[in-house]
Structure 1
Amino acid sequence: MSLAQRERRALVETMLEVGATAPTLCGTWTAHDLAAHLVVRERRPDASLGILVKPLAGYLDSVQDGIAQRPFTELAELVRTGPPWWSPLKPVDAVANLTEMFVHHEDLRRAQPGWEPRELADADQARLWKTLRTIARTAYRKAPVAVVLATPQGERITAHKADGPEVVLTAAPSELVLHAFGRDEVRIEASGSEADVRAVLASDRSV
């Protein structure tokens, strides 16, 4: 079973555990809203284009609002079963849904009081590190100084090149992936000048 599939199952388990009205790190979305988003993404390709194409965002919102009227347990089950056979995401589920399921699982976990980072297997951390290499430059493209991502074991990725000082963000790959996707509820160490670190942490990291 791929990491994406395991994160999908764990996400649904967490959804059902915390309940439909539980908050997430996705703005005002509840767990119910998050489930509706995932269902639209995997089962309504006509509407999911609005995630990337701004002129279609209104249509996406309308479809998602309609999906959100369905019972929470029904939506959770649709998320659990994954993209149907006809979905463009089905053949690439292990790749296309890896960060989607992992990040949204943590969006739900870390919006709850008393959260702690999970202990992930070395193989899973390695998979997330590999994924981080593909998104790092996009995520930190707006950083005002050079940015390097590093693991405690010494692996490094140059996320943003710039003349002058640099900021190094050190953490497990799982934490760095979350930070690259714009999440601030992470456990990372940042080195560099205080002003540069603040600027990098506050930068737009939308992927």
Structure 2
Amino acid sequence: MAAHLYIREHEPLATAGMFFSRFSERLEETTERYLAQDYEQLLQSWEQGPGLVNPVRWLDPLINAAEHFVHHEDVRRAQGEPAREFSPGDAQALYRSLKMLAPRILGASEVPVVLEPQGFDRVIANDRRGVSERGNQVAHVRGSVGEILLWVFDRDVAQVEVHGPSDAIRKSSI
């Protein structure tokens, strides 16, 4: 995971391999190179963040809230840790990420997907015309903002309620 996070912030061409098959070989080679490094040294390098001219530095508040949350929960949940509550500020950051990412990730769904995070406005993904004619063809996902974000990122541990045609929901990488 440390290699993944480092590459994402420091190796743009390798990062492209996460989304485009044309760059997948470069991603594999770069990943192997960082996996061979000393773990503590890699963590220290990652903690310093991207360089001053790296665009990731400016996008950090938008992309890293979700990325770091999801991977942190991957580790926590693998250790049997339960879902947790967040401060209002942290929950708001997760909600901003959910609003930005969910429509993109759920865009290929066959039905509109209405996300209903507790304490926040709904987020509607894949809203198409004709919904009122087929009102039962809408999927609803309910839960805390963090749990819905985990669900959007296809984590099985997410504690959400899904109502409606869940088999018509399609999740893709960004």
**What TM-score comes out, normalization by structure 2 length?**
0.84
CA distance in 1, matches of 2:34, 2:120: 45
Q: Does structure 2 conserve the Cα–Cα contact (< 8 Å) formed by 1:182 and 1:206?
A: no
1:130 matches 2:96 = yes
Identify if the C-alpha distance between structure 1 residues 175 and 205 changes in structure 2 by more than 3 Å, giving closer, same or farther.
farther
How far is 1:200 from its partner? 4.9
Note if contact 1:109-1:115 (Cα within 8 Å) is conserved in structure 2: yes
Q: Contact between 1:142 and 1:204, CA under 8 Å: does it hold in 2?
A: yes
Alignment of 1:49-128 (within 5 A): 49-112=16-79, 114-128=80-94
Partner deviation per Cα, 1:120-152 (whole Å, 9 max, x = no partner): 111211222122112222221232332110023
Could you tell me which runs of 5 or more consecutive residues in structure 1 were left unpaired when the two chains were aligned: 1-33
- What corresponds to 1:31 in structure 2? none
| SS at structure 1 position matched to 2:26 | helix
SS of the residue corresponding to residue 89 of structure 1 reads helix
**For the residues of structure 2 that align with 1:102 and 1:59, how far apart are their CA atoms?**
26
Q: What letter is aligned with 1:89?
A: V
Amino acid at match of 2:88: D
Structure 1 position 57, deviation (Å): 0.9
d(CA) in 1 for partners of 2:26, 2:143? 39
1:3: which partner in 2? none
Change (3 A) 1:93 1:154: closer
Contact 2:91 2:146 in 1 (8 A): yes
Distance 2:120 2:33 in 1: 48
- 2:72 partner amino acid: H
From 136, 143, 147, the equivalent of 1:175 is 147
Unpaired segments of 5 or more residues in structure 2?
none
Identity %, equivalent residues: 29
The 2-side partners of 1:72 and 1:154 are apart by 39
- Note the C-alpha offset of 1:69: 0.2
1:30-62 per-position Cα deviation (integer Å, ceiling 9, x unaligned): xxxx11111122222232222233201101110
What is the letter of the counterpart of residue 162 of structure 2? Answer: A
Structure 1 partner of 2:11 = 44
Task: Indicate how the Cα distance of structure 1 residues 179 and 156 shifts in structure 2: closer, same or farther if over 3 A, else same.
Answer: same
Cα distance in 1, alignment partners of residues 120 and 62 from structure 2: 25
Normalising to structure 1: TM-score of the pair? 0.72
Report whether the alignment pairs 1:187 with 2:154.
Answer: no
When the two chains are superposed, the root-mean-square deviation of aligned CA atoms in Å is: 2.0
- Count of residue pairs brought into register by the alignment: 168
